[in-house]
A and B are shown apart, each in its own frame.
Chain A
């Protein structure tokens, strides 16, 4: 041990104040599931039990949709828009007040470093509520026609990678536009949504406007297939997204789907290399790579590839992997055993198909689910690790000679969610941005989010946009018949 080792700086678990068990949040109250079933949620960093959570089935979903419908017809759709805005502002302020509690709950349940939940997830979630609170009474002036109307009851299903942030992306615009909500959090990360339910109570939000039913894929399918919801909003895998699209076909339901990605991060020869290296690390190792828009395909111009890779490896050796509750941790735990298996499985095909694996020398904890930061070099377009979403801290590195080749490789994917461009030349950046088929393109940065900026993808990355004015459009209609 050297003289300059870092000391541990753990955040306190006690701040989270997690109950031993939770019911379903229906009609403004926590109620037991009708069949009385529950499931466990664990801390993926040490596999310790955090809480028992109610398992909602078809009958619970039905109760939740009924409660949302009643709240919609009797209260929320009749309330002046300005009043709706006030509730959203109140929720946003309470989230800020309880930010530390939210951050600890999120890190315990998800496994992400406390630094990220504290500095990214929770502040952005609150920002989404603030942003949409402002929209609530201005919808008529937002270019959606003369009198845009809400849709009704929205069924929302969110993933485990950014549990509270995805909840905010879904609930804030839905409520601002005047809809009521039934939300199903991911099976492995229900706790921050249940804490949010307490915030709804604290804010005095009318009963039934937000309903939260925890459960698994079967619960989600019951929500999607419920006859009395007007819209489905889903963030998750492309596979499930396709299943949802199939099951709502030939119904009046609309959908927004935020699905997978395999983002290209293009580094041109004239890029500021040190900055690009930081951006590459942020792009793929942020949130353990559990990011749909992660920069998982690094495409470097050949003449700078050696320099970039050498610096990248040095930088990766400095990544601190370990206890997510430590404020110095950069890379936390993989969210579940299932996800770890998936990462391992696809990464192994990288070895088998002839790519070269490299990881820094890191000591992984023995308990919990862990994967070291990893890069594969010598990857070709046909490798599985270049085509499929790994959703873990695994980066595939490819090279290019001409800008045209870079674009061709970048666009040769079934996804089109995000992309990054690293270059010192503005004209080159703008040219590349125009060619790339991706919903979000970052120039000389990566993984930057803002509630005002629409987010969403081309091709199999999904339908519709979330955030900004474009995101609101998904929760409004100018068709006066739709609510009947």
Chain B
């Protein structure tokens, strides 16, 4: 993982991504950790910030928060911006909408209240 990350960064990538997201398993915590360590070390060596995009397997808001903690603790807070960290997860969006609905109304709605795309 680390070597693949370095190859991509040395070849000029602006973002490194786990996969298309359509295969499983993809963006597991250990994999994202190694990629974040790679961009952190690359920044120390070159002064260049490369983005990370985990995709596949991050389905709930809770999963997403765990990913954000991973970014904060590994690459650092400056990576917590859309330019440097994105989550590729269509399923996640629906869960996020459901959680927001719950914050507004106080209870969970049926999954059918959010659209599947």
**A interface residues (Cβ-Cβ under 8 A, vs B):** 2-4, 274, 318
Shortest A52–chain B CB gap in Å is 41
* B37 engages A274 (CB within 8 Å): yes
Asked if B73 and A318 sit within 8 Å, CB to CB, the answer is yes
Cα A472 to Cα B17 with chains together (Å): 52
0 or 1 for each of B31-70: is its CB under 8 Å from A? (1 = yes): 0000001000000000000000000000000000000100
B83 at the A interface (CB under 8 A): no
Cβ-closest chain B residue relative to A277: B37
For the complex, is B14 an interface residue (Cβ under 8 Å from A)? no
Complex contacts, B73 vs chain A, CB 8 Å: 318
Give the residues in chain B near A318, CB-CB below 8 Å.
Answer: 73
Residues of the A chain whose Cβ atoms lie less than 8 Å from the Cβ of B29: none
B72 within 8 A of A: yes
Please state if B72 and A4 are interface contacts (CB–CB under 8 Å).
yes
B32 to chain A: closest CB distance in Å?
13
**Interface bracket on B:** under 10
Question: Which residues from A are CB-within-8-Å of B77?
Answer: 2, 4
Any chain A CB within 8 A of the CB of B80? yes
Interface residues of B (CB under 8 A from A): 37, 68, 72-73, 77, 80
List 8 A-B pairs, Cβ < 8 Å. A2-B77, A3-B80, A4-B68, A4-B72, A4-B77, A4-B80, A274-B37, A318-B73
Most chain B CB within a 10 A radius of its CB, from A2, A3, A274, A318 = A274
Looking at chain A's contact residues, is the secondary structure mostly helix, strand, loop, or mixed?
Answer: loop
A-B contacts at CB below 8 angstroms, number: 8
Bound form: Cα–Cα A318–B75 in Å: 12
Q: A-B pairs with the 7 shortest C-beta distances?
A: A274-B37, A4-B72, A318-B73, A4-B77, A4-B80, A2-B77, A4-B68
A49 to B40, CA, bound (A): 46
Q: A4-B68, A4-B72, A4-B77 are in contact. List 5 more A-B contacts (CB 8 A).
A: A2-B77, A3-B80, A4-B80, A274-B37, A318-B73
CA distance A318 to B77 in the complex (A): 12
CA distance A236 to B73 in the complex (A): 36
Residues of A contacting B72 with CB < 8 Å? 4
Chain A's closest residue to B68 (CB) is A4
Give A2 to B79 CA distance when docked, in angstroms: 13
CA distance A2 to B80 in the complex (A): 11
Residues of chain B within 8 A of A2, CB atoms compared = 77
Interfacial chain A residues near B80, Cβ < 8 Å = 3-4
Bound together, the chains give a CA A353 to CA B23 distance in angstroms of 58
Residues in B whose Cβ lies below 8 Å from that of A4:
68, 72, 77, 80
Q: How far is the CB of A422 from chain B (nearest CB, A)?
A: 16
**Shortest Cβ distance from B60 into chain A, in angstroms?**
19
Which residue of A is nearest B33, CB measured? A274
- Complex Cα–Cα for A318 and B80 (A): 16
In the bound complex, how far is the Cα of B34 from the Cα of A274, in angstroms? 9
- Report A104 CB to chain B, min CB distance, Å: 24
Bound: A274/B73 CA distance, A? 13
A83 to chain B, nearest CB (A): 45
| Distance between Cα atoms of A318 and B71 in the complex (Å) | 12
Q: How far is the CA of A274 from the CA of B68 in the complex (A)?
A: 19
A residues in contact with B37, CB < 8 Å: 274
Least CB separation from A2: chain B residue: B77
In angstroms, Cα B72 to Cα A3, docked, is 11
| Least CB distance, B95 to chain A, in whole angstroms | 21
- Shortest CB-to-CB span from A306 to chain B, Å, is 12
> Closest approach, in angstroms, between the C-beta of A214 and any C-beta of chain B?
41
B26 to chain A, nearest CB (A): 21
How far apart sit A4 and B73, CA to CA, in the bound complex (Å)?
Answer: 11
Given the complex, which residues of A lie within 8 Å of B68, measured CB to CB? 4
In whole Å, how far is A271's beta carbon from the nearest beta carbon of chain B?
Answer: 14
A4 and B79 alpha carbons, distance in the complex (Å): 12
Q: How far is the CA of A274 from the CA of B39 in the complex (A)?
A: 13
Select from chain B the residue with minimum beta-carbon distance to A328: B69
| Bound-state Cα–Cα, A4 to B67, Å | 13
> What's the nearest-Cβ distance from chain A to residue B104, in Å?
20
Tell me, in angstroms, the Cα distance from A264 to B50 when the chains sit together: 37
Measured between beta carbons, the chain B residues less than 8 angstroms from A3 are: 80
- In the complex the two chains form, what is the Cα distance from A4 to B85 in whole Å? 14
Nearest Cβ on chain A to B64's Cβ, whole angstroms: 13
- A2 and B73 CA atoms in complex are apart in Å by 14
CB-CB under 8 A from A274, the residues of chain B are 37
Minimum Cβ distance to chain A for residue B40 (Å):
9
A2 to B77, CA, bound (A): 9
